[in-house]
A and B are shown apart, each in its own frame.
Chain A
Amino acid sequence: MKNTLNYVKYSDIENWGSLDIGSQTQVAPYFIDQKLLTNSPTDTSYDIIMAVVNGACNNGMALNIHENSSDPLYAHDATDAGASLSMMFGNNIANISNAGIFAKSASTDISSYYMGGGLQNISVSNTTATWRTNTNMTSTSDSASAVQSMLLVLSLSVGGGLLQAPVISTLDTATATDTSAGSWFDTGLTATITPTDSTSTLLIIGTITCCGFSTGYEPIFRFDRDGSPILTGDTAGSRNTSTLISRQANNALNGIPFFYTVSSGSTAETTIKLQASHQNSSTEELFINQSRQLLDNDRFKAGISQLAVYELKGVA
């Protein structure tokens, strides 16, 4: 019943190299040198894998977490395109920031985790793609070198603070949904859990990978618990209220990580969903696990989304 918290921080500026994307049919992932080792306990244990990667790319970038140098965790092939996969995030031009979070059962052997990336949503005006970590594309100032990235694995064992096995919902299909103004639909990420203790804490983690149709009318997301919204902003006039909002719409695949907690409140079965809507006053098409244009080539990545609920001891 041992829990572990292993992490690596790094703030060095790294150039992952420049890639001639004009000749690429399959973009090989680049790997950050740093890797995280975690000793898997022998008893029932579950890993929460979290990453914050600050970087910049002069093209779209999808980031993945790899285990033991294998394919990215939770990788899948798109069903309706030749695109391969991505888990986390479509970055954009010269912007800094990235993050992801995933849950999985711990391996029985020693596991290592890497960050890796591939390209997506490539701008045809660029023939090369360059990715840098812990800085932006242009700045050479001292402050730029102070940016920190981090990879972390929190292993929780039943009996060591985790009260039962987590409920994990994984969505690995791409969907496009027309949504009228102000209405919400279920993304398909749903976790039903029966708390063992009415004073426990439900940890809600995961990543929603999405894309909107129109720039300026970004997708928004909220959590629903047994038919009622939770973890939303205060009501304010005619504004929407949500938990999360996607960044740029219009063909940029965006992975939004989430890490929230709520009190269990009772030992009755409870269902937590992630629902989606948008900011447009007209009907808008929303895309889950795909960009707006999921063309049949390797430059367009399909995504994956996940919702996991952990019941933790209410020890605050």
Chain B
Amino acid sequence: MGTINRLPAMTGATDSTAGTAGLVPQPQAGDEAKFLNGAGTWAEAGGGGGTDGSLQAFYTENKSDKSTISVTKDVYSDIPDMDKTITPTSTGSKFLFVFSGSISNTLGQLVIDFFVDDCPISQSFQFISSLPDILGNSVWAGTQNVHCGYIMDVYEPNSDKEFTVKVKVTSTENSDVFVNSTYADTNNINNTRMFSQLNILEIL
């Protein structure tokens, strides 16, 4: 009897080496909805580039220190550390940007927005809040007010080209903007240091 030439098992590719052809791995119970990916494993639907609306990637940038930004009226400045360079996994990806921030300023209304490659992604912007109010009234009577909240937007690049998203801030008046601190920021218990975070979800 001659030697039986059995088909070898498939080996998966890595980011630097190609895989080899062969028998696919046996799907196990519970794998019925999974797809074989290029790494040679049964992956959750879309996890390897499927098209069924899966979470493709998740990015997080943290900011726990204080930043003081001197902004010129209506001119956007970067919020330090709140940026991320991303390469879409597909031209059909949607990106959900969420900036959770703690911000105060000295004059005018805060305006915060997402920029992709230094261009605003929407024709309009979002506030986290305003200080003082537009009427000039001291409705925010406390001297330590910081405004917490989030802004969000959805970006659909229709491309797999790398892009950089940044969170930028300006004010309706020339103003100092304080990230993660009160604007008084005196060294006592009446002042607080806070936290900000940028999260980006890629969904295909």
Contacts and interface: CB of A to CB of B under 8 A. Distances in A.
Interface of A: 1-5, 7, 9, 11, 50, 52, 54, 56, 92-97, 99, 101, 134, 136-139, 143, 145-150, 152, 154, 156, 159-162, 181-182, 201, 203, 215-218, 220, 231-250, 256-261, 279-281, 312-316
Interface string B145-181: 1111111111000000000000000001000000011
Contact of A241 (B124, B141, B192): B192
A248 B199 contact: no
Interface stretch (B5-13, B15-23, B39-47, B75-83): B39-47
Q: How large is the interface on B (under 10, 10 to 19, 20 to 34, 35 or more residues)?
A: 35 or more
A135 to B, nearest CB: 10
A315 B57 CA distance: 5
A277 to B, nearest CB: 9
User: Dominant SS at the A interface?
Assistant: loop
B135 A257 contact: no
B141 A54 contact: no
A220 B181 CA distance: 12
Given A54-B126, A159-B45, A161-B55, A243 B194 contact: yes
B188 A238 contact: yes
Interface string B105-147: 0000100000000000011111111100111010111111111
B185 A239 contact: yes
Contact of B203 (A5, A148, A217, A233): A5
A280 B170 CA distance: 30
B192 A5 contact: no
Given A95-B133, A233-B64, A243-B195, A248 B127 contact: no
A245 B125 contact: no
User: Dominant SS at the B interface?
Assistant: loop
A15 B148 CA distance: 26
Contact of A93 (B135, B185, B194): B135
B146 to A, nearest CB: 5
A139 B199 CA distance: 33
A159 to B, nearest CB: 6
Contact of A245 (B33, B100, B126, B146): B146
B59 A233 contact: no
B145 A247 contact: yes
Contact of A201 (B60, B148, B190): B60
5 closest pairs, A vs B, by CB?
Answer: A161-B55, A233-B193, A216-B142, A148-B124, A237-B187
B38 interface: no
Interface of B: 33, 44-47, 52-60, 64-66, 74, 94, 96, 98, 100, 102, 109, 122-130, 133-135, 137, 139-154, 172, 180-181, 185, 187-195, 197, 199, 201, 203
Given A138-B135, A259-B100, A97 B54 contact: no
Nearest to A230: B195
B130 A138 contact: no
B192 to A, nearest CB: 4
A236 B181 CA distance: 10
A216 B126 contact: no
A4 B190 contact: no
A256 B194 CA distance: 14
Nearest to A2: B53
